[in-house]
């Protein structure tokens, strides 16, 4: 069932938990579309219904549309808001998604074909039908339910600009995009580009009917920012939006490096740029902006279950100023550019040594700090993105990062995330007490254990291995750099080298 746009109300929205980050794609074509970088603009006044304006906590909230869905996808569900542009003659091949997609035409005229019943909303009236070369004009929208085919075409001589909201279930058994006519040609998406205005993931949401809203929020200087009681994405259009996380789950995504992000830590501070977004998986309480001197304009995309909220709302504290101070040379801070100071440094999915390794970085790799700091496992962690590819995001311990202009360290750090000693470079000596004998089968005790070409922490790393990888001891051990080193050869392979005893254990007979 579809319901045309109505006046929005003040709604407090709640928060739920986030699991490990997963990859979401824009309309299923993120691998072939070319992102374009331009500032987010306010949605045109022509919307599906000339809704009245509501005053909420001293901010003006205007509803752009409201769509009721009979069945919200099963969690986890990725949420994305994006602005897509189709140049004259551009189109997307007929394809389906396992979740909902709502496309609002901001400018131009879109021609739509559907493989099943889609819903068109014009002037507040909803029509459900299979669409054949259906023109959708500015201020009108089309809703594609799950598994309904869509073919978007710009048959005009001017750009068509869409504001698209997608709600896709994330499941290894589901295919995000299915092309009806087979794999499209490499040039099938020529002339189609997009900019992502926000990403998030919902882990807790009641099954059944739900309501999806898209609203604009205008808050003048000092005016409070209204909260929301459903899963809500606040995408900054313009103005001041700086805050610290006080409680609950908050995910911050950047338009420069769109992707799903882990929940921020309590106390973590953010300053959003236009196109960046804060996502509250189950809502957020009203926020006092009395200490902020500037106005703010926001697009709010939300989904609210008919069964009600699933958890406690998040709380954020607005910061006094949304103007970022320049990053001082040698200072670890958001937006600082750092370089990796050690070879084969792990970038992890979460700020802990037990988290999944996202990537391994070589020395001198440049990264931009986008989050943190977090303290865990005797390290201070920073969330970073690769300068050369900002889609690669993860956490690195500060010990393995250096900043331009920072003074040279006077001593080695007392602890490292990697399996290395505190001091390096001593001459290998025969070990006085051997735990393993020649011919023993041993296995690594941790992930990403290095095998080196010499029995020293200064030995060149040959490669790394996961926990449980089996090796045969091929010689007598030696001592160096406060470690006992064993020469080993991979049981199922040819790699040979040296591994420290601390990261080896015997393989029981029934495991051999």
Residue 358 lies in a domain: yes
278, 273, 239: which is closest to 261 by C-alpha?
A: 278
pLDDT at 13 over 80: no
Q: Are residues 393 and 478 in the same domain?
A: no
Q: Are residues 364 and 447 in the same domain?
A: no
pLDDT tens profile 285-309:
998 888 777 889 999 999 999 998 7
pLDDT tens profile 467-508:
788 999 999 898 887 788 899 998 887 788 989 888 899 987
More confident residue, 420 or 335: 335
- Cβ contact 84:161 at 8 Å: yes
Mean pLDDT (the chain, rounded): 81
CATH, residue 473: 2.30.30.40
Overall domain count for the chain: 3
Q: Are residues 398 and 452 in the same domain?
A: no
Residue 423 lies in a domain: no
More confident residue, 479 or 133: 133
Residue 24 lies in a domain: no
pLDDT at 66 over 50: yes
* Two structure tokens written together for 484: 């006992």
Q: Are residues 228 and 91 in the same domain?
A: yes
More confident residue, 390 or 268: 268
In this prediction, what percent of the chain has a pLDDT beyond 90? 44
Residue 70 lies in a domain: yes
CA gap 63, 51 in Å, rounded: 6
End-of-domain residue from the set 231, 252, 280:
280
- Cβ contact 91:154 at 8 Å: yes
Residue 6 lies in a domain: no
Residue 293 lies in a domain: no
Question: In the structure, what pLDDT confidence band is assigned to residue 38 with cuts at 50, 70 and 90?
Answer: very low
Place of tokens 């790699």: 495
Q: What does each C-alpha distance from 170 to 100, 161, 174, 201 come to in angstroms?
A: 13, 27, 7, 9
DSSP letters, 27-65, are: TT-TTTSEE------PPPS--SS-PPEEEETTEEEEEEE
Residue 2 lies in a domain: no
End-of-domain residue from the set 280, 300, 315:
280
**What is the pTM for the complete model shown?**
0.61
Q: Are residues 257 and 126 in the same domain?
A: yes
Q: Are residues 276 and 350 in the same domain?
A: no
β-pairing, 269-271 with 242-247?
Answer: antiparallel
Q: Are residues 433 and 362 in the same domain?
A: no
Paired residues of 111 in beta bridges = 135, 153
Q: For the chain, what percentages of helix, strand and coil (3-state, to nearest 5) are there?
A: 0, 45, 55
Q: Is 501 helix (H, G, I), strand (E, B) or coil?
A: helix
Q: Average pLDDT, stretch 246-250?
A: 94
Residue 109 pLDDT: 97
Q: Are residues 96 and 187 in the same domain?
A: yes
Q: Identify the domain containing residue 346 by its residue range.
A: 337-402
Q: Are residues 116 and 234 in the same domain?
A: yes
How crowded is residue 335: how many other Cβ atoms within 10 Å of its Cβ?
Answer: 11
Residue 72 lies in a domain: yes
Low-confidence winner among 118-132, 135-149, 393-407 (lowest mean pLDDT) = 393-407
pLDDT at 30 over 60: no
Q: What does each C-alpha distance from 279 to 60, 111, 246, 284, 399 come to in angstroms?
A: 20, 32, 14, 9, 30
CA gap 263, 202 in Å, rounded: 11
- Cβ contact 176:148 at 8 Å: no
Q: Are residues 379 and 482 in the same domain?
A: no
Q: Are residues 93 and 211 in the same domain?
A: yes
Residue 330 pLDDT: 59
């Amino acid at each position: 069932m579809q319901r045309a746009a109505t006046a929005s109300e003040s709604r407090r929205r709640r928060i739920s938990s986030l699991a490990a980050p997963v990859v979401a794609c824009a309309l299923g074509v993120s691998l072939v579309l070319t992102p374009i970088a331009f500032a987010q603009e306010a949605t045109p006044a022509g919307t599906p219904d000339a809704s009245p304006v509501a005053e909420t906590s001293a901010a003006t909230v205007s509803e752009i549309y409201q769509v009721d869905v009979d069945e919200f996808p099963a969690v986890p569900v990725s949420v994305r808001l994006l602005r897509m542009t189709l140049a004259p003659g551009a189109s997307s091949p007929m394809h389906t998604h396992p979740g909902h997609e709502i496309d609002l035409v901001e400018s131009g005229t879109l021609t739509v074909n559907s493989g099943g019943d889609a819903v068109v909303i014009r002037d507040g009236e909803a029509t459900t039908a299979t669409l054949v070369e259906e023109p959708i004009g500015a201020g009108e929208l089309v809703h594609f339910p799950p598994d309904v085919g869509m073919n978007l075409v710009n048959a005009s001589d001017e750009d068509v600009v869409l504001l698209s909201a997608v709600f896709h279930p994330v499941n290894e058994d589901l295919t995000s995009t299915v092309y009806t006519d087979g794999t499209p040609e490499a040039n099938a998406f020529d002339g189609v580009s997009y900019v992502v205005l926000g990403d998030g993931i919902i882990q807790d949401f009641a099954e059944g009917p739900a309501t999806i809203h898209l609203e604009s929020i205008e808050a003048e200087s000092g005016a409070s920012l209204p909260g929301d009681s459903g899963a809500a994405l606040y995408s900054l259009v313009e103005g001041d939006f700086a805050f610290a996380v006080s409680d609950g789950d908050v995910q911050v995504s950047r338009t420069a490096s769109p992707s799903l992000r882990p929940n921020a830590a309590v106390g973590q501070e953010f300053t959003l740029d236009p196109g960046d977004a804060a996502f509250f998986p189950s809502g957020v309480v009203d926020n006092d902006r009395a200490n902020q001197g500037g106005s703010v304009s926001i697009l709010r995309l939300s989904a609210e279950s008919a069964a009600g909220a699933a958890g406690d709302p998040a709380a954020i504290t607005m910061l006094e100023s949304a103007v970022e101070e320049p990053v001082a040379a040698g200072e670890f801070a958001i937006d600082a550019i750092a370089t990796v100071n050690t070879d084969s440094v792990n970038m992890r999915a979460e700020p802990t040594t037990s988290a999944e390794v996202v990537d391994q970085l070589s020395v001198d790799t440049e990264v931009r700090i986008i989050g943190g700091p977090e303290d865990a496992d005797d390290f201070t962690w920073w969330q970073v993105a690769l300068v050369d590819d900002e889609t690669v995001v993860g956490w690195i311990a500060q010990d393995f990062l250096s900043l331009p202009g920072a003074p040279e360290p006077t001593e080695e750090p007392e602890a490292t995330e990697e399996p290395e000693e505190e001091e390096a470079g001593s001459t290998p000596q025969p070990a006085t007490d051997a735990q393993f004998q020649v011919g023993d089968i041993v296995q690594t005790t941790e992930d990403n254990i290095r095998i080196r070409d010499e029995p020293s922490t200064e030995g060149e790393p040959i490669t790394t291995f996961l926990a449980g990888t089996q090796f045969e001891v091929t010689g007598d051990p030696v001592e160096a750099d406060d470690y006992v080193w064993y020469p080993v050869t991979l049981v199922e392979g040819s790699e040979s080298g040296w591994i420290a005893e601390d990261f080896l254990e015997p393989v029981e007979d029934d495991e051999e």
